[in-house]
Amino acid sequence: MMNRTIFTLLLFLTLARVNAQGELNCTVRINTPQLQSTDRRVFDQLEVTMREFLNSTKWTNDVFELDERIKCNFILTIKSEQGNTFEAELAVQAVRPVYGSGYETPMLSHLDKDITFQYDQNQPIVFQPDAPDNQNLPAVLAFYVYVILGMDYDSYALYGGDQHLVTAQQIVTNLQNSSTNKSAGWRPSDGGKNRNRYWIIENLLNPRVRPYRAAMYTYHRKGLDMFSSDMETGKQAIMLALEEVDKVNTAYFNSMITQMFANAKKDELVEMWKIGGKQQKDRVQQIMTKIDPANTQRYREIGS
Looking at the structure of the chain, the number of domains it has is 2
Q: Which of 116, 132, 154 is the last residue of a domain?
A: 154
Structural domain contains residue 198: no
Strand 104-118 to 85-97 pairing: antiparallel
CB 25 within 8 A of CB 51: no
Judgement on whether residues 149 and 213 belong to the same structural domain of the protein: no
Structural domain contains residue 175: no
CB 157 within 8 A of CB 43: no
Structural domain contains residue 189: no
Judgement on whether residues 241 and 131 belong to the same structural domain of the protein: no
Instruction: For the sheet with 24-31, list strands across it.
Output: 24-31, 70-82, 85-97, 104-118
Judgement on whether residues 144 and 219 belong to the same structural domain of the protein: no
- The pLDDT of residue 10 is 43
Structural domain contains residue 182: no
Structural domain contains residue 184: no
Structural domain contains residue 101: yes
Structural domain contains residue 172: no
Q: Which of 154, 172, 200 is the last residue of a domain?
A: 154
Which residue segment(s) compose the domain that 260 sits in?
208-302
For the chain of 304 residues, list the mean pLDDT of each consecutive stretch of 10: 41 43 94 84 94 96 94 97 94 97 97 94 82 77 98 98 97 85 87 87 96 98 97 97 98 94 98 93 97 96 86
Structural domain contains residue 162: no
- The pLDDT of residue 176 is 86
The pTM of this model reads: 0.91
Q: Which of 109, 130, 154 is the last residue of a domain?
A: 154
**Total residue length of the chain:** 304
